[in-house]
């Protein structure tokens, strides 16, 4: 099977072709980082308009570079949620229209399921069952994954997601958008032992997360150490960034170890934008090695939103018999637990 994947859930336009026999044939991505940088965050209307401009040229590019004609396709997969409603509509309408025009089936893909399956595009993919840590700007979830569509939510953030907390902490330190990667880079220059930040909800049982208190603690630390211009000196900013990052990473590692122990699993899949964080990978690998468990990640370019993960998820869903009808429906909020037994609920 050869599947065209389309991803337009937020601020990156991704298109890819996956072949069940040859693997990933081609993928292309256009990031809107420069477009939104002046606003310090994603502007939904601008994101939607840019998807309209970039999507079909990327489809043509991927098809031409892979030597694929419409007649070679066996299906088209597109992200139907969760995400920004306008951005989702662009990809869903285009994907459904192309599928109709080219007389191939279409399939709706859950964005976070795409992230969850992204490590399976690597040379040594994880096998079901496993525990997944889905950690991005909008989601922080621990999921017990028994198979395609067989998901049990073990824990999630009760307020800010980890990636969102990174971005907000970066704004407090006056770092440019996108803040998360810039805060991580600044943290490498800091001393994490200078400030002691809390590890939220680790002093009680359970697998839920909460990062809003950590965000408030960060703001208080910034203000307590601020100079006349409202910010601490450069080294203090780096030290705060390092302490903040340590607190988030430690919290994620503690909860991941608990989840593996609770389920008896020996494999942890980590996916989503924050999975690219260098310190998180180092701490997880060290902690899991002591317990005979392993961590699996997507390559760095597939940690953030991309069409490859949607194309691969589309292949699995089409293979399982799922099809989208002629109507176009997107779901800005879509619990992943509603995906059951290989078919969307």
Q: Which residues does the annotation place in the binding site for substrate?
A: 134-138, 167, 180, 277
Of the candidates 79, 92, 75, the residue with the CA atom closest to the CA atom of residue 20: 75
The CA angle 308-281-335, to the nearest 5 degrees, is: 50
* Binding-site residue positions for Fe cation: 111, 115, 305
* Rounded Cα–Cα distance for residues 6 and 40 (Å): 26
> Which contacts qualify for 223-227: CB closer than 8 Å, 24 or more apart?
none
Burial class (CB in 10 A: 0-12, 13-18, 19+), 262: middle
341: left (phi over 0), alpha (psi -120 to 50) or beta: left
**Structural Rg of the chain based on CA atoms:** 20
* Binding-site residue positions: 111, 115, 134-138, 167, 180, 277, 305
Q: How does strand 12-19 pair with strand 23-31?
A: antiparallel
Place of tokens 């049982």: 205
DSSP string, 171-218: HHTTPPSSHHHHHHHHHTTS-TTSS----TT-SSSSS-B--HHHHHHH
DSSP string, 62-91: HHHHTT--GGG-SEEEEEEESS-HHHHHHH
């Amino acid at each position: 099977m050869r599947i065209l994947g389309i991803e337009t859930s937020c601020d990156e336009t991704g298109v890819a072709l996956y072949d069940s026999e040859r693997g990933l044939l081609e993928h292309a991505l256009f990031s809107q980082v420069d477009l939104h940088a002046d606003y310090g965050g994603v502007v939904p209307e601008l994101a939607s308009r840019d998807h309209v401009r970039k999507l079909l040229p990327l489809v043509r590019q991927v098809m031409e570079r892979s030597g694929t004609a419409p007649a070679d396709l066996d299906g088209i997969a597109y992200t139907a949620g969760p995400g920004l409603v306008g951005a989702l509509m662009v990809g869903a309408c285009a994907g459904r229209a192309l599928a109709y025009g080219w007389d191939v089936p279409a399939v709706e893909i859950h964005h976070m399921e795409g992230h969850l399956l992204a490590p399976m595009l690597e040379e040594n993919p994880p096998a079901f069952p496993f525990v997944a840590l889905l950690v991005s700007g909008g989601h922080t979830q621990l999921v017990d994954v028994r198979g395609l569509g067989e998901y049990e939510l073990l824990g999630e953030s009760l307020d800010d997601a980890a990636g969102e907390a990174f971005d907000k902490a970066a704004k407090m330190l006056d770092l440019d958008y996108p803040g998360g990667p810039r805060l991580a880079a600044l943290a490498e220059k800091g001393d994490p032992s200078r400030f002691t930040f809390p590890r939220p909800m680790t002093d009680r049982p359970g697998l839920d997360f909460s990062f809003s208190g950590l965000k408030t603690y960060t703001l208080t630390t910034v203000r307590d150490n601020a100079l006349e211009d409202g910010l601490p000196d450069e080294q203090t900013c780096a030290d705060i960034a390092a302490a903040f990052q340590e607190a988030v990473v430690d919290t994620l590692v503690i909860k991941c170890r608990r989840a593996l122990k609770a389920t008896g699993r020996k494999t942890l899949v980590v996916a989503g934008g924050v999975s690219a964080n260098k310190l998180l990978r180092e701490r997880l690998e060290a902690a899991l090695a002591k317990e005979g468990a392993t961590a699996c990640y997507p390559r760095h370019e597939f940690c953030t939103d991309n069409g490859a993960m949607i194309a691969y998820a589309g292949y699995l869903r089409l293979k399982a018999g799922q099809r989208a009808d002629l109507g176009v429906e997107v779901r800005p909020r879509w619990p992943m637990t509603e995906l059951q037994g290989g078919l969307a609920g």
